[in-house]
Amino acid sequence: MNYILGDLIERNISFQVLISLLIVLVAISGIDLIFLFLNELSDLTESYTLNAIFIYCLKSFPYRIFDLTSYICLIGLIIGMGSLIDKGELIGAQILGKSLTSIAIAAFRPVLLIMIIGLFSSQFFIPSLSQSAEETRSQLQERISYDQGYWNKNDENISFFLSTPERDHILDLTVYELDKDKKISKIIFAKEAFFKEGVWEATNGQIIGLSDNISSNASQVSLPKLSIDFNQMLSPKYLSLTNLYTQSKETFSKYRKNQLSLEFWRKVLQPLVTFSLVLLAMSFLFGPMREQKTGQRILIAIGVAFTVDLSQKLLGSISVVSEIPTIVSVLLPAILLIFLSLMLLKRA
C-alpha cells in the first residue's frame, strides 16, 4: 500500500495537491459553465428555452472539462505545491529524507487519478453526451439545413436523416427503398424513428410507392432493412476511443481518416500533455523560478500552456490536410515542453 500511496509524508503532499486540484476544478468549471450559459442566452427562442439551454450546458460540460484538464492540473499543482512551500512543509519533507523525485511522484498521484478518470470518461460517457448536447441544440435552434444532414447507403436502401440526438433516435428520416435493379421503388418519410429490439421503427410515417403510385400514412412503420452505421458519419468528437481507432483504419476518405486519427491521438495522449505541464509546474517550483510568487508562476505557466495548446491546434489543422502524421502534431509540443522542463529542473 505504501508503494502505491506512499508513506505519511507523501500522502500528505498528495492530499494537499488533490484538494488544490478539486478547488481549481470547481472554480474553472463553474466560471466556464456560467460563461457558456450567458453566451447561450443570446440564442434564446421559443423552442430553445432556458430549460433547454441549461440541459445543453450540463451535457456539454464533461467534454469542456476534459479539454481543460491540462490547465486544471497545471494550476492546481502550482497552487498546492506553492502552498506547501510557503508553509515550509516541503523543506521539512526534504529534511526528513525525501528527495525531489519522491516529492514529485507524490504530487503526481492525484494528477494521475484525474487523467485516468478523463480517459475512462472519453471512452464511455463524453461522446454520447456531446452528441446529445450538440445535435439537440442545433435542432432546437433550427440551424440544421438539409445539406447538413446524414446520408447512409446499403444494398437495399438509401437513407437520410437530419439529426440524431441519441444513437437510438433519429429525426426527419427519409428512406429510399431499392428494388433488384437498384431503382427506387418506395419512399418513406417520418418525423422521427427509434431503434427498438434490433429494428428501426418510424413514427408518423408516410409511404409512397413509386411502382403503383400509392401513398399511405401510418402511425408506426417498421424498417427491418434500414441499417445505419453512425461511426462512419458522426463527428469525431461523438465517438469513443475504440470507435475512433477502428474507423480511422476502415474509412476510405483520407480527410476523414485524418480527422478521426487526430481526435484519437488528442484524447489518448492527453495524459502525456498533462504530464508535460505537470513537469513544467515542477520546474517552476523547484527550478530557477522557485523564488517567484505563486501568482507570477501561475501567469507564466498559463502563458506557456496556452502556447502549447495553440501549437497543437495549429499543427493538428495542418496535419489533417497535409502529409504530417496527426500523432506528430500532438506529440511535438508536449515533447518540447518536457525537454524545456527537464532543462530547467537540472538547474535546480
Is residue 125 domain-shared with residue 182, that is, in the same domain? no
Is residue 57 domain-shared with residue 3, that is, in the same domain? yes
Is residue 176 a contact partner of residue 158, using CB atoms and an 8 Å limit? yes
Is residue 97 domain-shared with residue 42, that is, in the same domain? yes
**pLDDT value at position 100?**
74
**pLDDT value at position 142?**
65
**Is 2 domain-assigned?**
yes
Is residue 20 domain-shared with residue 100, that is, in the same domain? yes
**Is 46 domain-assigned?**
yes
Grid cell locating 95: 529534511
Distance CA 307, CA 11 (A): 33
**pLDDT value at position 148?**
67
Is residue 121 domain-shared with residue 176, that is, in the same domain? no
**Is 273 domain-assigned?**
no
| Structural domain total, the chain | 2
**pLDDT value at position 178?**
85
Is residue 127 domain-shared with residue 178, that is, in the same domain? no
The whole-number mean pLDDT for each consecutive block of 10 residues of the chain, a chain of 348 residues, reads 65 86 89 90 83 89 85 84 76 74 81 86 86 80 65 84 84 85 84 86 82 74 80 79 85 84 88 83 72 72 77 85 86 86 75
**pLDDT value at position 147?**
60
Is residue 332 a contact partner of residue 272, using CB atoms and an 8 Å limit? no
**pLDDT value at position 145?**
56
Angle at 96 between CA 94 and CA 98, to 5 degrees: 45
Is residue 137 domain-shared with residue 1, that is, in the same domain? yes
**Is 32 domain-assigned?**
yes
Is residue 136 domain-shared with residue 191, that is, in the same domain? no
**pLDDT value at position 323?**
83
**pLDDT value at position 272?**
86
**pLDDT value at position 240?**
85
φ, ψ for residue 54 (rounded to 5)? -65, -40
Q: At which of 226, 256, 275 does a domain end?
A: 226
Q: 264-299 burial by CB neighbour count: b if 16+ within 10 A, else e?
A: bbbbbbbbbbbbbbbbbbbbbbbbeeeeeebeebbe
Grid cell locating 226: 434500414
Q: At which of 226, 247, 262 does a domain end?
A: 226
Amino acid at 277: L
Is residue 179 domain-shared with residue 63, that is, in the same domain? no
Is residue 94 domain-shared with residue 221, that is, in the same domain? no
> pTM score, two decimals?
0.76
Domain containing residue 171: 155-226
Q: At which of 226, 242, 276 does a domain end?
A: 226
